[in-house]
Amino acid sequence: MAIAAAAIGVAKAPSSIALFSRQRPKGGMFILKSSFSAQANPTRKLILYSKPGCCLCDGLKEKLQAAFILNGPDSLHDVQLQVRDITTNPQWETAYQYEIPVLARVRSDGTEETLPRLSPRLGVELVQKKLAALLRQE
- pLDDT tens column, 64-89: 999 999 898 888 888 899 999 999 99
Whether pLDDT at 59 is above 90: yes
* Closest residue by Cα to residue 85 from 45, 31, 134: 31
* Closest residue by Cα to residue 35 from 68, 2, 13, 58: 68
pTM attached to this predicted model: 0.70
CATH number of 2-136: 3.40.30.10
- pLDDT tens column, 9-34: 433 333 322 334 444 444 555 455 44
| pLDDT range class, residue 8, cuts 50, 70, 90 | very low
How much is the pLDDT for 40?
47
How far, in Å, are 7, 8, 11, 61, 138 from residue 2 at the CA level? 8, 10, 14, 15, 32
Domain residue spans of the chain: 2-136
Whether pLDDT at 37 is above 60: no
Determine the residue type at 3.
Answer: I
The pLDDT of 58-66, averaged and rounded, is 94
